[in-house]
Amino acid sequence: MAVTTLPPIPTTEPPPAPDAASFLTEAKIGPRDGARRTAVIAMSGGVDSAVTALVMRERGYRVVGINLRLFSPGDAAHRANPCCGIPAMDDARATCALLGVPFYAVNMETEFGEAVVDRFVEEYAAGRTPNPCLECNRHVKFRHLVQRARLLGADCLATGHYARVVPGDTPAGRPHRLLRAVDPTKDQSYVLHTMTQDQLGFVRFPLGALRKTEVRTLARHFGLPVADKAESQEICFVGKRSYADFVAARRPDVTRAGEVVDGGGRVLGAHRGLVHHTVGQRRGVGIAGPEPLYVLRLEPAANRLVVGPRREAAALSLRAEAVALTDGAWPEEPFPVEAVVRYRGAPTAATVSLGVAGGGEATVSFHGEGPVASPGQAVVFYRGDEVLGGGTIREVATGT
């Protein structure tokens, strides 16, 4: 009788785990240039800042961890403040203890309250849509924290942002350049566009060439206590609450009911407070129609919500204020860009025409159908992966 050879039983063994050492090459983490140099690390208590401290230590720097106390919620469990309350501070301290580096806590509640929280509330009350992470970077991390790091005699400040900086040879020659991160799902260059040349020369983003999966692998390999800590997806000072409830607690007037109208002023229904709506919103408008309706604009003076179809929401152009270019230049001639008008939004071909030098104003004209743009958000100018600059959207011209 013939002998039948059975095929091998397929293995269910998982593929070998990636070698963490392969993520510590200079191509991934930057040059090992830290000998006799000090790096202050902004420690939030999460995995990204923990691996930032680890990477800078691996690059040879003397590392000092600083945790910012930005906002103290009223609840004992710090539900409203997952990334900068006491539990987060304890996680940052535990990471520094494991790495064997000094840890300091710095109270910046006043600076954060004035520059971020108060602005957030007032902007929403005025019918605009602010970006608090951008303002925190602009006014707290890259102004106040950079100053603190320099007072400590540090050679640089490193943060866990996902972005890249290509060093220039300023002041005489090439400027520093800000680029998108390698991992497009984590890129944070949009909220970093306000950085100056001085800041770009002082700040390091050691995670910019790493993917989030690689960051997790490094954290697990080195046994960091926050290796598997979940990411916070909320606005840090709002937490699990809705931003509308947060704003309404400070500005009760924003919850007044009012009319919902179309672009021609025809009343379609009622809203329960403008704070519950933002430009470009589709879900939650509460008005049925033959096609989906989007929020076109908010009119706080009349307490009206204006809605319409997608074609009426698309921007033809916009005006921006507080405009700055990353290289510090101010071209007189219009120049082409890919414009992004919301965090992780799709780039849209556009032309930027700058106003008078020193005025900080610009007009952005979109080619073809433009994006849905919200006053109060940032418009950021890209050329490929490079951030050219940006500003705050003041007003939007649509087809209505």
Whether the CB-CB separation of 196 and 170 falls below 8 Å is answered with: no
Whether the CB-CB separation of 258 and 271 falls below 8 Å is answered with: yes
Shortest CA distance to 277 belongs to which of 88, 91, 73, 129?
129
Of 83, 133, 136, 156, the catalytic one is 136
Measured over the CA atoms of residue 189, residue 193, residue 197 and residue 198, the dihedral's sign is negative
Residue in the block written with tokens 């290289």: 327
Shortest CA distance to 208 belongs to which of 192, 221, 228, 225?
192
Question: Would the annotation count 370 as a binding residue?
Answer: no
Question: Would the annotation count 19 as a binding residue?
Answer: no
Question: Would the annotation count 285 as a binding residue?
Answer: no
Please report which helix (H) or strand (E) contains residue 244, including its range.
Answer: helix 243-250
Residue in the block written with tokens 């809605």: 307
Measured over the CA atoms of residue 198, residue 202, residue 203 and residue 207, the dihedral's sign is positive
Is 83 part of the annotated catalytic residue set? no
Question: Would the annotation count 49 as a binding residue?
Answer: yes
Segments in 113-254 forming alpha helices (H):
118-125, 132-136, 146-151, 197-202, 212-221, 243-250
Is 96 part of the annotated catalytic residue set? no
DSSP state of 358: T
Question: Would the annotation count 68 as a binding residue?
Answer: yes
Structure tokens at 239: 């937490």
Whether the CB-CB separation of 271 and 277 falls below 8 Å is answered with: yes
Amino acid at 369: E
Amino acid at 65: G
Instruction: Give how far Cα 376 sits from Cα of 139, 172, 368, 394, 396, Å.
Output: 16, 36, 23, 6, 11
Whether the CB-CB separation of 332 and 354 falls below 8 Å is answered with: yes
CA atoms of 184 and 84, how far apart (whole Å): 25
Question: Would the annotation count 45 as a binding residue?
Answer: yes
Whether the CB-CB separation of 314 and 371 falls below 8 Å is answered with: yes
The DSSP bridge pattern shows strands 335-340 and 177-179 to be unpaired
Question: Would the annotation count 353 as a binding residue?
Answer: no
Question: Would the annotation count 44 as a binding residue?
Answer: yes
Residue stretches of the annotated binding site for ATP: 42-49, 68, 160
Residue stretches of the annotated binding site: 42-49, 68, 160
Active-site residue set? 136, 236
